[in-house]
Amino acid sequence: MTLSRATQHVPAVVVGGGIGGLQAAHTFAKLGLAPLLLESRGTCGGLIFGAPIGGVWVDLGAESFAKRSVATAELCRELGLDVVDPSGNSWLWSHRDGGFAFRIPHGVLGIPTDLDDPIVVDLLSPEGLARAREDLTMGPEAGADAADLASLVVARLGEEVLTRLVDPIAGGVHSAHPSELSVDVVSPGLRRALASEGSLVRAAAALRASAPAGGVVSSASGGLFTLPRALVARIGELGGTVAGRRVVTAIARDGDRWAVTHHEAGRAPDPADPPVPVGEPQVVTTDRLVVALDGRAALDLLRTVPELEVDDWQLPKGADLAQVCIVLDAPELDAGPRGSGLLVTPDAEDADRRVACKAITHYSIKWPGVVAGSGKHVLRVSYGRAGVPTPEPTLSGALADAGVLLGVPLAEEQVVGHAVIHFPNSLPPQTPAHRVRVADLTERLAGTPGLAITGAWFAGTGLAAVIPHAERVAKELA
Please write down the HEC assignment for all residues of 64-109: CEECCCCHHHHHHHHCCCCEECCCCCEEEEECHHHCEEEECCCEEC
Model pLDDT for residues 370-382, shown as the tens digit of each residue? 888 788 999 999 9
106-211 belongs to which homologous superfamily? protoporphyrinogen ix oxidase, domain 3 (1.10.3110.10)
Class of domain 8-48+225-315+429-477: alpha beta
In DSSP notation, 134-181 reads GGGTS-S-TTTT--BHHHHHHHHH-HHHIIIIIHHHHHHHHTS-GGGS
Beta strands in 255-348 (DSSP E): 257-266, 276-286, 289-291, 319-328, 341-344
Domain span(s) for CATH 3.90.660.20 in the chain: 50-86+317-426
pLDDT of residue 316: 86
Beta strands in 384-437 (DSSP E): 415-426
Cα-based angle 275, 280, 282 (whole degrees, multiple of 5): 90
In DSSP notation, 182-198 reads BHHHHSTTHHHHHHHHS
* 323 CB burial (10 A radius; 0-12, 13-18, 19+): buried
Report residue 441's pLDDT band, with 50, 70 and 90 as the boundaries: very high
Report residue 3's pLDDT band, with 50, 70 and 90 as the boundaries: very low
With 50 as the cut, is the pLDDT of residue 417 above it? yes
With 70 as the cut, is the pLDDT of residue 470 above it? yes
pLDDT of residue 349: 60
How many C-beta neighbours within 10 Å does residue 99 have? 16
With 80 as the cut, is the pLDDT of residue 180 above it? yes
pTM: 0.88
Are 24 and 51 in contact by the 8 Å Cβ rule? The answer is no
Are 260 and 289 in contact by the 8 Å Cβ rule? The answer is yes
In DSSP notation, 328-356 reads E--GGGTT-TTTTEEEE---S-GGG-S--
How many C-beta neighbours within 10 Å does residue 52 have? 11
Residue 354's identity, in one-letter code, is R
Mean per-residue pLDDT of the chain: 92
Which is nearest to 438 in space by CA: 331, 316, 268?
Answer: 316
Q: What is the enclosing helix (H) or strand (E) of 254?
A: strand 246-254
Report residue 399's pLDDT band, with 50, 70 and 90 as the boundaries: very high
Strand order in the sheet with 341-344: 100-103, 90-94, 341-344, 359-362, 377-383, 319-328, 415-426
pLDDT of residue 135: 97
Q: How far apart are CA 323 and CA 349, in angstroms?
A: 22
Percentage above 70 pLDDT, the chain: 97
With 90 as the cut, is the pLDDT of residue 265 above it? yes
Q: How far apart are CA 400 and CA 337, in angstroms?
A: 16
Q: How far apart are CA 330 and CA 350, in angstroms?
A: 30
Between 428 and 105, name the one with better pLDDT. Answer: 105
Which residues on adjacent β-strands are paired with residue 321? 423
Model pLDDT for residues 348-367, shown as the tens digit of each residue? 665 567 899 999 999 999 99
Which is nearest to 65 in space by CA: 260, 191, 220?
Answer: 220
Model pLDDT for residues 268-298, shown as the tens digit of each residue? 888 778 899 999 999 999 999 999 999 999 9
Q: How far apart are CA 118 and CA 113, in angstroms?
A: 12
Domain span(s) for CATH 1.10.3110.10 in the chain: 106-211
Strand order in the sheet with 13-15: 241-244, 36-39, 13-15, 289-291, 451-453
* 94 CB burial (10 A radius; 0-12, 13-18, 19+): middle
pLDDT of residue 351: 52
pLDDT of residue 1: 40
Between 3 and 25, name the one with better pLDDT. Answer: 25
Domain span(s) for CATH 3.50.50.60 in the chain: 8-48+225-315+429-477
Q: What is the DSSP letter of 385?
A: B
Q: What is the enclosing helix (H) or strand (E) of 39?
A: strand 36-39
* 443 CB burial (10 A radius; 0-12, 13-18, 19+): exposed
How many C-beta neighbours within 10 Å does residue 274 have? 14
Report residue 2's pLDDT band, with 50, 70 and 90 as the boundaries: very low
Which residues on adjacent β-strands are paired with residue 324? 381, 420
Model pLDDT for residues 215-262, shown as the tens digit of each residue? 789 999 999 999 999 999 999 999 999 999 999 999 999 888 999 999
Class of domain 50-86+317-426: alpha beta
Q: How far apart are CA 409 and CA 400, in angstroms?
A: 8
pLDDT of residue 263: 96
Model pLDDT for residues 14-54, shown as the tens digit of each residue? 999 999 999 999 999 999 999 999 999 999 999 999 999 99
